[in-house]
Amino acid sequence: MDPLTLGAIVGIFTVMILFSGIPIAFGLCVISLIFLVAAEGFQIIGVYAETFYAGINSFVLLSIPMFILMGMAVAHSPAGKDLYTGLDRWLWRLPGGLVISNIGACAVFAALSGSSPATCAAIGTMGIPEMRARGYSARLATGCIAAGGTLGVLIPPSIVLIVYGLATGTSIGRLFLAGIIPGLLLAFLFMFWAYIYAYFIDKDSAARLKDRTPPTLKEKLEVLPRVLPFLAIVAGVLYVLYGGVATPSEASGVGAFLVFVMIAVVYKIYQPKKIWDIVKISMKESVMIMFIIAASYIFAFSLSTLYVTQSIAQVVVEMGLNKWLLFFYINIFLLVCGFFLPPVAVIVMTSSILLPILTDFGFDPYWFAIVFTINMEIGLITPPVGLNLYIIKGITPDVSLGEILKGSIPFIGMMILCILILCIFPEIVTWLPDKLMGKDAGF
């Protein structure tokens, strides 16, 4: 059978399996096994098992559960509340300052936890009631937290960027550096929209500011001793990664240990039951991600064995498309994938197909990683999956899912604007990695 036809059949069956409700990892394993046995016979089962094991037989993968453990320790402490309180007290005078402080808290908490759902839950639980109590619409209050939570997959240490590095063989340290400036840019664009909304659309914002008692300098400073140690840990982890002092696995392990020390010292969280609850949740999340990585590795292997990947790449190159037209089509494809699948699954399923094509057209793999990740962020706040939407719905059951989505739409526009800016100025992504780690394959 023609490889492209076979690829189309695999794609149709994959969509059917995933929409059946079966867990993604199991679905990918079943599809891969069926088509490999059909094409190669039962002798392929031995290779199948070895390939599955090879998918997770990497020392670098140890950084994933360690960063998850680090994030869950922060998420299950009052650190999110302190971040939110501190930023609110410093930005209270700014129009839309409460929304801006929530987005800022999301950005900082994302850097601490590396998790989008954890960021949404931690900041949203405190921030949304406060915004609504002070007159902000439910639409804006829920939308800004849903969007702000997505920063957790872009600002390092990001689990998504780690998985991308493993799937593509690119440097995780360079990926983290590449994500810093675009992550801050995206947070700024979110804040910019909040300011525009408060200043030009929501005319009551200034009136709400007059009714508020200004925080004292003492109130502004008192939260800093609790927050700064956690920020110092993140800065230290990133420094040892970029400075070549430690590998990602070593840095993540030390970071997780130090975070546990800090939540014990700062917040008195040292009871065995509370520590075990954090470890248990982290273990569950880690196993799920590892299983998806291994299953997706098998899926990519099956596509390669069936010559589907190579045929698609060859056809695309022979089409003679303009590089930017090709890039546009790939972005649409990634957006659609992000609507239905979590970022980790999309990366390990598609990167082996897309990256060789894009590099042949002269695109930088690290620049594409950031664009890829922003596409996945959009998927987190769009149905039918839209994980962040459902987390916000759980926090605010009286607000309809439609209202939360409407509040998120302007922030989706900001993400698309960010992608356009990165297309025009790719140096926003590549400058910092090239400055600190030397030149790599150019854009």
pLDDT tens profile 262-292:
888 888 888 889 899 988 988 887 888 788 7
* Residue 53 located in a structural domain: no
Rounded to the nearest 10°, the torsion over CA 411, 413, 415, 420 is -160
Gap between the Cα atoms of 158 and 179, Å rounded: 9
pLDDT for res 443: 40
- pLDDT band at 211, cuts 50/70/90? low
* Residue 120 located in a structural domain: yes
pLDDT for res 385: 65
Greater pLDDT, 115 or 328:
328
- pLDDT band at 209, cuts 50/70/90? low
Burial class of residue 429, CB neighbours in 10 A (0-12, 13-18, 19+): buried
* Residue 18 located in a structural domain: no
Mean pLDDT, to the nearest integer, of 57-85? Answer: 77
Please name the residue that has the structure tokens 């949740």.
281
Does the pLDDT at position 111 exceed 80? no
pLDDT for res 330: 86
Radius of gyration of the chain from Cα atoms? 22
* Residue 89 located in a structural domain: yes
Greater pLDDT, 207 or 353:
353
* Residue 47 located in a structural domain: no
Rounded to the nearest 10°, the torsion over CA 230, 236, 239, 245 is -150
Provide the 10 A C-beta neighbour count for residue 438. 8
Does the pLDDT at position 363 exceed 80? yes
Work out the mean pLDDT of the chain and round it to a whole number. Answer: 81
Say if residues 391 and 121 touch (Cβ distance below 8 Å): yes
- CA 117 centroid distance within chain: 9
- Domain enclosing residue 121, as ranges: 60-268+317-437
* Residue 167 located in a structural domain: yes
* Residue 43 located in a structural domain: no
pLDDT per position as a tens digit, 194-203: 888 877 776 6
- How many domains does the chain fold into? 1
* Residue 72 located in a structural domain: yes
Mean pLDDT, to the nearest integer, of 74-79? Answer: 78
Gap between the Cα atoms of 29 and 367, Å rounded: 31
Does the pLDDT at position 249 exceed 90? no
pLDDT for res 442: 43
